[in-house]
Amino acid sequence: MNSAAKLAINGGTPARRKPFPAYNTIGDEEKRAVAEVLDTGVLSKFLGTWSEEFFGGPRVQKLERDWENLFGVKHAVSVNSATSGLIAAVGAAGIGPGDEVIVSPYTMSASATCVLFYGAVPVFADIEPETFCISAESIEPHISSRTKAIIVVDLFGQPAEMRPIMELARNRGLIVIEDAAQAPGAKYFGQFAGTLADIGVFSLNRHKIIHTGEGGVNVTNDSGFAERMQLIRNHGEAVVKEKGVANIVNLLGFNFRMTEIEAAIGCEQLKKLPALLAKRQQVCQQLSQMLAEIPGVIPPTVRHGATHAYYLFPVRYDENELGVPRKIFCDAVRAEGIPIYEGYVEPLYLAPLYQQRIALGKNGYPFANSTVSYQKGICPIAERMHERELFILGMCHSQLTKEDLDDVVSGIRKVAQYRDELRSAALA
């Protein structure tokens, strides 16, 4: 051990010696709600036939009504995951073989692969360097005669710049789907994220701000989109005749149904969202102020007119300022006991799916007849963020204390302060 070392990675004392508190929003309210469902013996009330039970049981329908009331939308459609919700949204939008959908390269994979299920092809537009969302400026050059829709992701909890995106879409006759999985409760000029486009998709996955283990909710103000998402959710092909649906495009349905237990938990979680989000925002805003004093470390930017849900806490790293590569810096911060990871996801188009142009079947469908490029370099900002500039503090949430925040900042400040020691060790 180097007794003169200040940094833990070189043998010094770590800034943090104990784990950070886990994020747990499940309490007695959820336990009682689940017990009530169990007492009924009915864990799901969906039927895949045209009947009153086609729309699910009382808890499912209550969650949908509660979601509509909180977010101020006409229609909420619960699903068993946000991935299912994205697939249902793309189907409801009428996307089909030969179509193109403009998507983000820097997001969870389903935000792009959802279009492949309908034989359409994702086209990747680059992200903004400060907010990590695609923009009207990056979208417009990719619009072609084949473009039918845009999927916008409110990444890390920050709403995208939706006004110009929606104006562009209206001028070009395009449908916009907003993936708000990470941004429940965030706002853009006073309007909730997820309600800013033609269809919005929320997640209730286990690590979201509120959750039901697995689950999701789609929202729209268009009754036609709502009906089609309900049909796709629950074996639409089996009921269109009795329901009298004339346009059966994309109504080959799935089982995307939410259970009564998940919905019961969701109703209780939804009540908690405003308070959980307000505390999370308070914690993360305080952390941003503290980190802003450290050279080479740039806390999250919140765009004008928006609020941030801080699903994750993204930080930009300036190697020119600190003089060491991001990996070496992050290794040193982790040694100080601060959970941190480099980048977010590899830009999606670099995955084997796109590089080998193989999705459905062995003959390259639906890529075979497409000239869309997935070569490295098509989204340089996303690649730069992933390879050099972005790191994530993933443990930032509403249950952190001032002591926890002090330790986070202390660990990062310590590494920045003693970066000469870090450089010397790296060169040795």
Residues labelled as active-site residues: 208
CA–CA distance, 374 with 52 (Å, rounded to integer): 46
Other C-beta atoms closer than 10 Å to the C-beta of 254 total 17
The rounded distance, in Å, linking the Cα atoms of 102 and 149 is: 7
Q: Which of 230, 237, 272, 273 is nearest to 253 (CA)?
A: 237
Report how far residue 98's alpha carbon sits from residue 193's, in angstroms, rounded to the nearest whole number.
Answer: 30
SS3 assignment, position 34: helix
Residue 317, strand partner residues: 297
Decide: 422 and 7 in contact? Cβ < 8 Å: yes
Which residues, 6 or more positions from 234, have their beta carbon under 8 angstroms from its beta carbon?
A: 46, 48, 54, 253, 255, 256, 257
Residue position matching structure tokens 């309908």: 118
Q: How far apart are CA 37 and CA 43, in angstroms?
A: 7
Q: How many CA atoms lie within 13 A of 285 on its CB side?
A: 10
Gap between the Cα atoms of 48 and 243, Å rounded: 12
Exposure b/e, 128-146, CB count within 10 A at least 16 = b? beebbbbbbebbeebbeee
Tally of CA atoms within 13 A in the half-sphere of 369 that contains its CB: 9
Report the alpha-carbon distance of residue 409 to residue 34 in Å, rounded.
Answer: 40
Amino acid of residue 201: V
DSSP secondary structure letter of residue 278 = H
Is the separation of the CB atoms in 15 and 338 below 8 Å?
yes
Phi-psi region of 293 (alpha: psi -120 to 50; beta: other; left: phi over 0): alpha
In angstroms, the Cα distances linking 87 to 81, 118, 194, 352, 354 are 10, 9, 16, 21, 18
Helices in 346-385 by DSSP H: which ranges?
A: 352-355, 380-384
Q: In whole angstroms, what is the distance from residue 261 CA to residue 281 CA?
A: 29
Token pair in block for residue 239: 């009921």
